[in-house]
Amino acid sequence: MLLVIDAGNTNITLGVFKEEVLIANFRITTRIARTSDEFGIMIHDLLKSKGMDLSQIEAVAIASVVPGIMHSLKSAIIKYLNITPFEIGTGTKTGIKIVTPNPKEIGPDRIVDAVAAYDLYGGPLIVIDFGTATTYDLISEDGSFLAGITSPGIRICADALWHQTARLPEIEIRKPDSILAKETITSMQAGLVYGYIGQTEYIVKKIIEESGIEEIKVIATGGLGKIIADGTDAIQIFDDGLTLQGIRLIYNKNKMY
């Protein structure tokens, strides 16, 4: 079995694949400093909770945008699984052609999403990842990474709202039934969610307008993205497992070399 790890700025998501099937997935917070032993014990316990053990893992693949955790995380995998992990980075064969001026600036999180979306749904497409930052990436019909847009994620916007104001409370991020809010909590929810739906629709519209690509699929993943995807016709497909699938696909492409 293959263990894939997506180390993001807010969460670390782990998935276990048996061939092409995701049979288990877990999520832990990134923002706690951990030693290699803590990572190792945590991975052991998570697998055990699903009736698996470390000996069943044959390979490990990682995509990370958090360099500060990588020494401990990779050391844990080597120490507890006796496996040298495959890390997606510069020079990794992906099958996606990056035609931006500086390809090294494109993070591995965006690459794995693009690879999975293109492989599963075909191009041309826009891939939206609602993570700590929200990213919008344009992939052509032949699998070229043409452009990317980055904006503050919905949780960053929410944190700013309640931490930079004296009297607004921390709230659950969800879509209220109406934008016509009549009290503080639903007014904040309306501003956050409907405002983010509006951002999503406008950016998708501008990408289509400026690229000249009209017949285009829009695929979304990540975090609170289901709330946004359910509130707009601009997104055709929400795929929560897109990033983990992308890591698996890239690992398999590189096994052949």
Concatenating the DSSP letter of every residue in 157-191 gives: HHHHHHHSSSSPPP------S-SS--SHHHHHHHH
| pLDDT digits 0-9 by tens, 109-168 | 999 999 999 999 998 999 999 998 999 999 999 999 999 999 999 999 988 888 888 777
| 144: its two tokens | 């070229």
Q: Is 240 among the catalytic positions?
A: no
Domains and CATH numbers, the chain: 2-87 (3.30.420.40), 97-247 (3.30.420.40)
- Looking at residue 9, what DSSP letter applies? S
Residue 256 pLDDT: 59
> Which carries the bigger pLDDT value, residue 122 or residue 100?
122
3-class secondary structure, 207: helix
Nearest by Cα to 85 from 70, 95, 74: 74
Give yes or no for residue 103 having a pLDDT over 80: no
Instruction: Give the integer Cα–Cα distance in Å for 38 and 36.
Output: 5
The active-site residue out of 6, 45, 53, 109 is 109
Q: Which helix (H) or strand (E) holds 195?
A: helix 184-211
Instruction: Give the integer Cα–Cα distance in Å for 119 and 195.
Output: 31
- The answer to whether 66 and 48 have CB atoms below 8 angstroms apart is no
Residue 205 pLDDT: 97
Per-residue CA distances from 168 to 177, 186, 187, 213 (Å): 20, 12, 11, 42
